[in-house]
Structure 1
């Protein structure tokens, strides 16, 4: 069942040139008023479907349009055009003769901000109870039901023992859990989370990732999660949509997006990749041989590319094996020289000179090979991705 549908969503803003011109005086300002203003696409014809119970993540760098998309769903931004529906309920429709735009306070969605946005003058209990207490009288639960619902949510968030404490006297992690509790207590059909862990230190952020995943699985709340953190997206998500410059480049399961990126940007943004540029030497079914500066590499790809076409073969560093002695007759086995290495704690990176290029290899921290050592590399054809040039 589809919980959220976004169709052809567009949101633009005035470009830099227009804003600068509008600040001028006299004839310049008049000329600008008569000219069509330049527009910048924050969200450019985005269409998405989010299934019931999913943790759907919008992932991308700053300025890619992920937060604008989320705020459009929340009702905090008014799109130029498109359609947004939660279940059968239309929240925004800007393509008909009459625009539908349900106000943010009537959408009934849960929202968790990056800055927590808790009320400092209230206790933990009162912060969570407030969204229920300010509902219209006809929809407001009774005092006993509010007490029970707030107590249940606080216990779920492991904040029950802090119900009477002032919100400002909580730690950063506790404040973020409080913000989550306040969003959950209204039992929303859809939860919107705008980089909720970015203000926490690395260790706390990691522990809260697992807490969020546990809560989302146990409560079954459909959630839209915005982040620029690739590890966070891979750890939390049911589905990831990678965005760049207002466009969705790829949507899929975390493993699919990581292992089979459909373009160079996705391969570079999620993790690290070796990009081996070359030309297709031969093809037999899904097996493709590509001649690169590092040597010939074989890969498996359903993408039909003609012999002689220029392509890029992408290989994650952890998909290479490294050995001082080699293996013999493997399809993607090369010899090279270690030029550098770096100990990363849970892995060791080796930079290996192969042919005219360099390849990054990430492996077991117990294996550390000195620079200048002759080594052999190998990778499985199934672990090599064909990426379009450009």
Structure 2
């Protein structure tokens, strides 16, 4: 993907809202570029309206970009530059697989026929023999653990089975690239969690190059080799899931990827990668490779799991110990969250479920400098 741009003309909407004139171009995708390595799961992550689905649909040929280049496996699918008439391969000739949010399963067909259909409608010269179609369909159904349901009407499947059927139909054509548009969002929480790992296993075993679109941060962290966080049509940060979670490059990414405590302050001193940041409730020591000068405003991102809660003090022995009072707690099953009032701030700490401290109790919070993240002010 190179310099992809897609705009929508919002002139009529502007006229209705303001009764004015003129043009107002809205960027759905704003000059984005990225590479997807063979065999990896690449995820476009962001809130609604950030441009992730428009990007995916542009790759599929369901949207027509204004400019840019889309190339898959050495084949140019779209190219538009310098106002010239763009070159665009029709969607049905791109040889890509796509799984939609709604699955788009044909209700009047059986499981077998749903999967066989993409092979049956191929051009005569590319269409496999009937025996080959049967072989390919049964192989994919076996991979998806749907072989015993081959003759069942598609409408008689559970939500999880329909999701696997949609995936089987996309895979049967052996696409060079698989596109997935929030395929798990219609499932209940427990099924969604189990299918995340199933998708990850299948993608790894089959080695399919995939682009996945989601607004679910956990989904992106579990499934992806690479994550591109999007906002307002732009890619804000691109990297490995752990890198983005532990080292967000801006406040938006830090707050969007999981839960975090955000403390504002300014850089008081710097010694190598060890910073001292002054906040309203005291100094914080932290380690960061980000190059920020003294006296500059910053934000310190502190994940709840990086906050330790103790009833005793070790002031002077350990850095970043603050005194506070528990104001709330929540049992999450696998963990307990405590909300601790420290001066002007409320800090969330996440710890072992066996430790539960009564609200109103005075405690001491400790924050390891290596687990804090320095984020430049946007």
- Please indicate the TM-score interval, normalised by the length of the shorter structure: over 0.9
| 1:19 and 2:7 matched | no
Q: Residue 226 in 1 paired to residue 213 in 2?
A: yes
In the alignment, structure 2 segments of 5+ residues that lack a partner are none
For residues 59-112 of structure 1, give each alpha carbon's deviation from its aligned partner in whole angstroms, at most 9, with x where no partner exists.
Answer: 111000000000000000000111100021000000154421000000000000
TM value normalised by structure 2? 0.96
| 1:80-91 correspondence runs (5 A) | 80-91=66-77
1:332 corresponding residue in structure 2: 320
Deviation at 1:20, TM superposition (A): 5.6
Asked whether the 8 Å contact 2:14–2:24 carries over to 1, the reply is: no
Which residue of 313, 325, 344 maps to 1:356?
Answer: 344
Q: Aligned-pair distance for 1:379?
A: 1.6
**Which residue of the partner structure matches residue 126 of structure 2?**
139
Secondary structure in structure 2 of the residue aligned to 1:48: coil
Structure 1 segments unaligned to the other structure (5+ residues)? 1-5
2:376 is the counterpart of 1:388: yes
C-alpha distance in 1 between matches for 2:344 and 2:160: 49
Confirm or deny: 8 A CA contact 1:276 1:294 kept in the other structure. no
**1:273-352 map, 5 Å:** 273-328=260-315, 329-352=317-340
Match of 2:87 in 1: 100
Over 6 Å off, 4+ runs? none
Q: Does 1:42 align with 2:28?
A: yes
Structure 1 Cα separation of the partners of residues 194 and 291 of structure 2: 43
Q: What is the aligned residue count?
A: 376
Residue in 2 aligned with 1:73?
59
Alpha-carbon distance, 1:18 to partner: 2.5
**Residues 1:118 and 2:112 aligned together:** no
Whether 1:7 aligns to 2:2 is yes
Query: Equivalents in 2 of 1:7, 1:22: separation in Å?
Result: 35
Instruction: Assess if the C-alpha contact under 8 Å between 1:151 and 1:160 holds in 2.
Output: yes
Residues 1:167 and 2:161 aligned together: no
Q: Secondary structure at the match of 1:49?
A: coil
Deviation at 1:212, TM superposition (A): 0.5
Task: Name the CA shift for 1:20/1:281 in 2 (closer, same or farther; >3 Å).
Answer: closer
Listed as ranges, the matches of 1:133-212 within 5 Å are: 133-212=120-199
Residues 157-206 of structure 1 show CA distances to partners (whole Å, capped at 9, x for unaligned) of: 00000111111111111111100000000000000000001111111111
